[in-house]
Structure 1
Amino acid sequence: MPSSQAKIAPATGAIAPIRVWDMPLRVFHWLLALCFGGAYLSAELDDWRLLHVTLGYTVAGLVLFRLLWGVFGTRYARFSSFVRGPQAVLTYLRGLATGRPQHYTGHNPAGALAIVLMLALALLLTAAGWLLYAELVGDWMEEIHETLANLLLLVVLVHIAAVLLASRLHGENLIRAMWSGMKAGAAGDASQPACVLAALLLLLAVAGFWWIQLG
């Protein structure tokens, strides 16, 4: 099996762009960013309560999809391909601090940690929001809900800053890669299937839910 890790300028030949991020993963990524951003901005607006709740439920559904896709998705979407231990994260961060981070075809260890944190916080955030909306708990849950939202925003901002820094140090646009799916790969790294049907089903599910909730 080819390694999921690829160093810049390998001795065996030049790096070639391959499809690393399949379409369902990219749809998930941008929908999650849209929904969390919209839910965060509408949190204090009473007239937008239904939109806030709808976006929150969508975030929960998207995270559940990502957990499933992290098991059954394509190679670089699977958690087993990028979730690593603390030592790998520290090694990568040291390289980042010195301006010589190791290049990974898929998610780097620090990015993987950010992903795990964001998914966990999003689940806790939406669970707290549901408990509040269903009036199953007291007003004390509102403070927890807000704290979780702010923690998630902080992780997102750190993640974006790290992506911009890594993009500069590696000489590749990682934001564009998450849009196009194409990223630098080493010899032996195979391009991943697009999985267009799964992406369309995800989009239709979200659009259908929004239609029911807001239509």
Structure 2
Amino acid sequence: MTPSRDMVRVWDPAQRILHWGLVISVALAWWAGEDRLALHVRVGYVALAIVAARIVWGLFGSRHARFSDFVFGPREVLRYTKRIARGREERHMGHNPLGGWMVVALLACIAVVCVSGFLYTTDAFWGVEWVEETHRVSAWTLVGLIAAHVAGVIFTSIRHRENLVAAMFSGRKPVSTQRPDH
């Protein structure tokens, strides 16, 4: 990306803080694991609070933060996926149709991890196998979703010649990008 390109604000500060807050809290919870259980539990609560805040922001926040801006129906997701396969997908200023559903999947999975973890700390569910198993399976599912998310960000950054990681720090994306095949 050249510095001379016109830039536009896409990701508002709240959205970026919530995004990186989730990155940090999920990474800390994973690192802490059972060996540092008190930290694991605390950052789990933080992650759940961030998910709740992101859901509220997804309903009432700025344009590109709202779910209505990026959660597309199945037909549009299929159409977009076919266009990716042909190398002809359109660029989106906010989340593309697959990225939008990845946001939903990540938020839902983090919520399941956090709620099952919370339940496991209560007297009513301590030692209950299905709660522990739900926590474990959803945590590993989250790892897979994160890997797919990072792969999608890298793929889209290369394909559209824009640094999406930098955009999630600065909040800004280029107004337009040129691809030689378009």
| Superposed pair shares fold, TM > 0.5 | yes
Residue 161 in structure 1 maps to residue 161 in structure 2: no
TM-aligned CA distance change 1:136 to 1:173, over 3 Å: same
Tell me how far apart the structure 1 counterparts of residues 170 and 58 of structure 2 sit (CA, whole Å): 19
Q: Which residue of 2 aligns with 1:110?
A: 98
Q: Which residue of 2 aligns with 1:82?
A: 70
Specify the SS of the correspondent of 1:172: coil
> Which one-letter code corresponds to 2:132 in the other structure?
E
Q: Which residue of 2 aligns with 1:128?
A: 116
Q: Which residue of 1 aligns with 2:8?
A: 18
Residue 70 in structure 1 maps to residue 37 in structure 2: no
* TM-score, normalising length: structure 1: 0.76
2:128 to 128, 134, 139: 139
Residue 151 in structure 1 maps to residue 160 in structure 2: no
Tell me how far apart the structure 2 counterparts of residues 170 and 139 of structure 1 sit (CA, whole Å): 48
The question of whether the paired residues in 2 share the 8 Å contact of 1:100 and 1:169 is answered with no
- Number of aligned pairs? 170
Residue 174 in structure 1 maps to residue 164 in structure 2: yes
Q: Which residue of 2 aligns with 1:27?
A: 17
2:81 to 81, 90, 93: 93
Tell me how far apart the structure 2 counterparts of residues 163 and 124 of structure 1 sit (CA, whole Å): 24
Cα RMSD of the aligned pairs, angstroms, is: 1.3
Q: Give the CA deviation at 1:163.
A: 0.7
The question of whether the paired residues in 2 share the 8 Å contact of 1:96 and 1:166 is answered with no
Specify the SS of the correspondent of 2:111: helix
**The 10-residue stretch of structure 1 (49-58 or 94-103) with the greater mean CA deviation from structure 2:** 94-103
Tell me how far apart the structure 2 counterparts of residues 171 and 155 of structure 1 sit (CA, whole Å): 23
> Which one-letter code corresponds to 1:92 in the other structure?
Y
Q: Give the CA deviation at 1:16.
A: 3.4
Q: Give the CA deviation at 1:90.
A: 1.7
**Structure 2 unaligned spans of 5+:** 177-182
* TM-score, normalising length: structure 2: 0.89
Specify the SS of the correspondent of 1:63: helix
Q: Which residue of 1 aligns with 2:37?
A: 49
Cα distance per residue 1:9-40 (max 9 Å; x no partner) = xxxxxx83200000010010011011011111
> Which one-letter code corresponds to 2:128 in the other structure?
D
Percent sequence identity is 38
> Which one-letter code corresponds to 1:76 in the other structure?
H
**The 10-residue stretch of structure 1 (27-36 or 15-24) with the greater mean CA deviation from structure 2:** 15-24
Q: Which residue of 1 aligns with 2:180?
A: none
> Which one-letter code corresponds to 2:45 in the other structure?
Y
Q: Give the CA deviation at 1:83.
A: 0.7
